[in-house]
Amino acid sequence: MSTVSLPPAPLHPVGLRLHGRRVVVVGGGSVAYRSTVGLLDAGAAVTVVSPAVVPALEALADSGALSWIPRRYAPGDLDAAWYAVAATEDPAVDDAVAADAERERVFCSRADDPDASSACPALSDAEEPLPHDDGRGRIVLVGGGPGDPGLITVRGRQALARADVVVVDHLGPRSLLAGLRPDVEIVDASKLPRGRAMPQEQINALLVSHARAGRLVVRLKGGDPFVFGRGMEELLACASADVPVEVVPGVTSAVGVPAAAGIPVTHRGLTHEFVVVSGHLPPGHPQSLVDWSAIGRLRGTVVVLMGVETAPAIAAALVQHGRPPDTPVAVVVEGTTGRERIVRTTLAHLPAAIVQEKVRPPAVWVVGEVVRVGAPTS
């Protein structure tokens, strides 16, 4: 006697307003991360339940963007939830989550079995694919811009729409992951400030191995790949392995974040130059390549990236080498996103402002008279 397989029940298209509402994501891998970023962009109050999480989820938990319960799923974890996601990649656990959700009348999506889910996330509209596809594995280094998913280039969106594998940084426009095809493999290559990081050599090897397997690999990076993004290192690794590679430039946070906050890096009559500096090493560090005495003597704008922890030392060096202590400074935290905030201060008061305002990465800070342009007067 043969068994007839019935098609999945039809879906009723609807959108969920989850802002401020509790959502539980069970799982801590790349599949759970993909679901979580879309929920966070919807304003949901996300709780992740998993014994371990990928670095990108860990960073979100450390920043307070979500709550992390570091253990296995247990009955009761869905209490007061409006929506649940089962993404452990363990069928037994996902079964338990889905069964509890059904009992509690909580809609649930299963990453491993969309047809068995009571809810299925909608995909974003498909983008026009890349114009050439010869079936050979290749790599596209995509600059995703400073954070707002709308600031990625059209070419970057085309690459994501066609990707088989996406290797993503913590600072890449994470909400774009939620709209990828379900079969796209996501690799978390986060480099967390002073935290866990995937070695660059391992990232290079991953890119090459996936491309050699015939896949289209998108390396999604924040900002522009060639502005403190190690993009050239990855390009050289691909070239040495004889793997085709394309570079898609992105809007660098050094210019895009201040601009979106209403701060120009240049302004007629105020400055004829601006300089972008990596602040990941403090002045005086034996590995620092920055001539802080020269930077201090400049009259133009100084933009500092990756310089939250080192801000006191950098401010002191700039004053020591010629910048007046009352030089205005603007610190733009999580620029271009819905969580953006601006801390205005001076070089002299920057260390105290960092502490008082609880500034954490990602943040870009700007030094110079351009900070006063368009600034509120009260």
CA gap 175, 160 in Å, rounded:
12
**DSSP per position, 70-111:** -S---TTTTTT-SEEEE-SS-HHHHHHHHHHHHHHT-EEEES
Residue 191 appears among annotated catalytic residues: yes
Judged by phi (left if over 0) then psi (alpha if -120 to 50, else beta), residue 80 lies in left
CA gap 146, 201 in Å, rounded:
25
One-letter amino acid for residue 116 of the chain = A
Q: Kindly state the DSSP code that residue 321 receives in the 8-state scheme.
A: T
Q: Shortest CA distance to 230 belongs to which of 264, 207, 214?
A: 207
One-letter amino acid for residue 28 of the chain = G
Please, which residues have CB within 8 angstroms of residue 151's CB and are 6 or more apart in sequence? 145, 173, 251, 256, 336
From the candidates 77, 100, 169, 188, which is the catalytic residue?
169
Other CB atoms within a 10 A radius of the CB of residue 291 amount to: 12
Residue 112 appears among annotated catalytic residues: no
Q: Which residues are catalytic?
A: 169, 191
